[in-house]
Amino acid sequence: MKQKIEALRSRLNALNYKYYVEANPDISDYEYDMLLKELQELEAQHPEYDDPNSPTKRVGSDLVNTFSSVVHKFPMLSLSNTYSLEELRAFVDRIEREEGPTEFVCELKFDGTAISIIYVNGRLERAVTRGDGTRGDDVTTNIRTIRTVPLVLRGDNVPEYVEMRGEVIMPHASFRRLNAEREEAGEPLFANPRNAAAGTIKLQNSAEVARRGLDCFLYYMVGDKLPFATHWENLEAARSWGLKISDRMQRCTTWEEIESYITRTDALRLELPYDTDGAVIKVNDYSVRHRLGATAKAPRWAVAYKFKAEQALSRLLSVDFQVGRTGAITPVANLEPVRLSGTIVKRASLHNADQIALLDVRLGDMVYVEKGGEIIPKITGVELSEREDESTPFEYITHCPECGSELVRIEGEAKHYCPNSDGCAPQIVGRIIHFISRKAMNIEGLGEETAELLYTSGLVRNVADLYSLRPQQIASLPRMGLRSAEKIMQQLESSKSVPFARVLFALGIRFVGETTAKYLASHFRSLDAIMNATEQELAEADEVGEKIASSIRAYFTNESNLAIINRLREVGLQFEEGEQSRLSSQLEGVSIVISGSFVRHSREELKALIEQHGGKNLAAVSGATDYLLAGDKIGPAKLQKANKLGVKIISESDFEQMIVGVPSVADIGEEDRKTTHQSEKIAVQGELF
């Protein structure tokens, strides 16, 4: 069986390379999925053959990971930058004066986040962020989810130790999808793919990392004993091992070739499916690199030439103000049509009042427009020499353009908001559209246009009204008929079985996106528990924090929201997590509070185990608490309160003993208990450092 599992892994790794790196799949997606499913089943049946580099690990895990800090074996230096061809020519001339005729390698400069990936005996061992150049974070679990990063290298000539440097990027398609999801959830948008990639690689939920669709290019092999004497040969070797190396590289021996490469790549970047912001010029020969050396911050044998951001100049005609479902006001500039990055641009983002004031943008101005990150273009500056003498500073609106309510601005936030959530049409329609969306209640047949028609016709004023609709009412709408209406009614009925986490997401609570809703549902288990929780208790749930906790409390103190929830409860929506199968009654009547991070389990796993064995999870230490399950970096307030109330403090090992039926912590001597807990703390620290 072990041979069959390993053969499947090898086959899937080869198929993965063909599909994601070469973009030349050998088999259909269905056939690939069936092979992967077969491997998953075999691995589940034979856990003794578990392998962290199995293709099945690509999907990541819902378990929360903590990142340990790792010292780079070879420092990750930054590159010197230049925006001038004259300075770049001076760089080339200096090297040739010192070394004579020199061969350079020109490469794309990817706009992402730097990574170092180590392979030992051909297997992915560790991936570390740049950090401060000397020490970075171990993000191996997240890097394993990137399909273009091989888990096992190919070929017979792979060195025992291989360390590759490269860039984790977010392709435009992934970035657009991610920002669309965040906008729908009322979450802040990422400014550009680079920020999105950097934020994603540091997420503590690798399943979410896998879902976001990162990519990775590798461009530098480091080590004391490299296979070849030149950069180009080493990258070609790395390519043969299955690593993703850009095919947009070129060896150049003259300044004219380098200049030509830069000109071509500057034009090419507009067509690429990912962001590049320049070209990197490197000396090819390692012996020359060694002689040239490095400064404290950067090597003297390489430089990055940064492209100028593509801009267009256009006249600002007017400004519209859009109202989102959360009430956020977004100013959008209307421009004279201008060509930018191959498309005609007529509108551009102005972000918020602060940005307008900072740029001193005025109606009638000639403004500079950039297309940042392949999303909506943005205004980045004003050509003051073109400003008309009679122009006046722009006055930001004070009232909602849709309902006339006076706008408010929440402390610490850049945007203005319309507070009239119950009477502002775009907010109401936006909440209905969010509620029926695929990742929420998934009510097929009800699209955005139909949602607007239901509202404007007076049939639906909030999401609860959807469940009061009759087929004849829907059939009377334009482009609808009785058959379509009956299908929608069936979808509405089916939505009553949608799991609690998705119902919670569908409510449209500000800042509660799909992932946060899952954490809240898992932590509190019911809507009533969330509604009754304090801000402090809400903030203790994973991925929540004070800002989201405050938003949740505000939502549940709104009488209109409570009325809608009561109606949704009456029609039968799921407001509780499904019951978990009971494994034992070992913790019957026992209440436990969890704090800190653990070696063998995530906090959510521990909470599930407590319930599966008959226990109860508490969010805060009180007189009703039986045990404080303490991990590394335990909250000091909880520890202090537990000691004050005499609550027993147990370790992860203590807890494991309790649920398997061996003597519980109550039967363990005080000194033994202290020893056990201390040894676990040491184990955790050893893993971190």
Q: Are strands 123-129 and 215-222 parallel, antiparallel or unpaired?
A: unpaired
Q: Minimum mean pLDDT among 105-114, 119-128, 179-188: which range?
A: 179-188
* Cβ burial 387-424 (10 Å sphere, 16+ → b, else e): eeeeeeebebeeebebbebebeeeeeeebbbbebbebb
End-to-end Cα distance, the chain: 37
CA distance 386 to 315: 10
* More confident call, 605 vs 65: 605
Contact between 29 and 35 under an 8 Å Cβ cutoff? The reply is no
Q: What pLDDT score was predicted for residue 224?
A: 81
Owner of token pair 């092999």: 221
pLDDT-derived band at 686, boundaries 50, 70, 90: very low
Distance in angstroms (rounded) separating the CA atoms of residues 142 and 356: 38
Give 20's DSSP letter.
Answer: I
Structure confidence by residue, pLDDT tens digits, 323-372: 999 999 999 999 999 988 667 889 998 989 999 999 999 999 999 998 75
Beta strand 591-595 with 627-630: parallel, antiparallel or unpaired?
A: parallel
Higher pLDDT, 297 or 225: 225
pLDDT in tens, 36-93: 878 888 888 888 888 888 888 765 554 445 678 889 998 888 888 888 899 999 999 9
Range in 22-26, 359-363, 521-525, 636-640 the model is least confident about: 22-26
Query: What is d(CA 321, CA 397) in angstroms, rounded to the nearest whole number?
Result: 9
pLDDT band at 636 (very low <50, low <70, confident <90, very high): confident
Residue 297 has pLDDT above 80, yes or no: no
- Would you give the distance in Å from CA 348 to the centre of its chain? 25
pLDDT of residue 20: 59
Residues of the chain with pLDDT > 70: what percent? 91
Q: Report the distance separating Cα 571 and Cα 349, nearest Å.
A: 41
Q: What does the pLDDT look like over 549-588, one tens digit per residue?
A: 999 999 999 999 999 999 999 999 999 987 655 678 889 8
CB 611 within 8 Å of CB 617:
yes
429 and 458 Cβ atoms separated by less than 8 Å: no
Residue 193, classed as helix, strand or coil, is helix
At 495-515, the pLDDT tens digits run 999 999 999 999 999 989 887
Element (H, E) at 654: helix 652-660
Give the H or E element holding residue 118.
strand 113-120
Active site annotation includes 109? yes
Q: What does the pLDDT read at residue 29?
A: 59
Supply the mean pLDDT for the chain: 87
- 82 vs 91: CA distance, rounded Å: 10
Please name every residue paired with 594 in a beta bridge, in sequence order, or none if there are none. Answer: 629
What domains, with CATH codes, occur in the chain? Answer: 2-59 (1.10.287.610), 71-306 (3.30.470.30), 311-386 (2.40.50.140), 425-497 (1.10.150.20), 500-571 (1.10.150.20), 591-688 (3.40.50.10190)
Of the candidate ranges 267-271, 400-404, 673-677, the one whose mean pLDDT is the lowest: 673-677
Among 547, 508, 196, 503, CA closest to 324: 508
Is residue 310 within 8 Å of residue 370, measured between CB atoms?
A: yes
> Dihedral of CA 402/403/406/409: which sign?
negative
pLDDT at 433: 95
- So what's the pLDDT on residue 24? 66
**The pLDDT value given to residue 17:** 75
Strand, helix or coil for residue 70:
strand
Question: What pLDDT score does 374 carry?
Answer: 44
Instruction: Give the burial class of 74: count Cβ atoms within 10 A of its Cβ; 0-12 exposed, 13-18 middle, 19 or more buried.
Output: exposed
Residue 157, classed as helix, strand or coil, is coil
Query: Strand pairing partners for 105?
Result: 251, 282
Which residue type sits at 137? D
Average pLDDT over residues 207-228: 92
User: CA–CA separation, 351 vs 414, rounded Å?
Assistant: 9
Question: Higher model confidence: residue 50 or residue 434?
Answer: 434
Write out pLDDT tens, residues 252-265. Answer: 999 999 999 999 99
CA distance 447 to 443: 9
Q: What is residue 22's three-state secondary structure?
A: coil
Beta strands in 130-275 (DSSP E): 135-137, 161-169, 215-222, 250-252
Q: With contact defined as beta carbons under 8 Å apart, do 350 and 331 qualify?
A: yes
Tokens of 350: 């102005």
The model's confidence at residue 677, banded by pLDDT at 50, 70 and 90, is: very low
CA dihedral 657, 660, 661, 667 (to 10 degrees): 10
Place of tokens 């740049």: 130
Phi-psi group of 161: left, alpha or beta (phi > 0 → left; psi -120 to 50 → alpha; rest → beta): beta
- Give pLDDT, residue 626: 92
Confidence band of 680 (pLDDT split at 50, 70, 90):
very low
Strands, sheet with 250-252, edge to edge from the N-terminal-most edge strand:
81-82, 302-306, 276-283, 104-110, 250-252
As a whole number of angstroms, the distance between CA 321 and CA 329 comes to 6
Indicate if the pLDDT at residue 124 is higher than 90.
yes
Q: CA 448 to CA 426: how far, in whole Å?
A: 12
In this predicted structure, the answer to whether residue 127 has a pLDDT above a threshold of 50 is: yes
pLDDT higher for 60 or 615?
615
Say which of 109, 282, 378, 607 is annotated catalytic. Answer: 109
Tell me the C-alpha to C-alpha distance, in Å, between residue 327 and each of 177, 323, 339, 347: 22, 6, 32, 21
Please report the pLDDT score of residue 160 as a whole number: 93
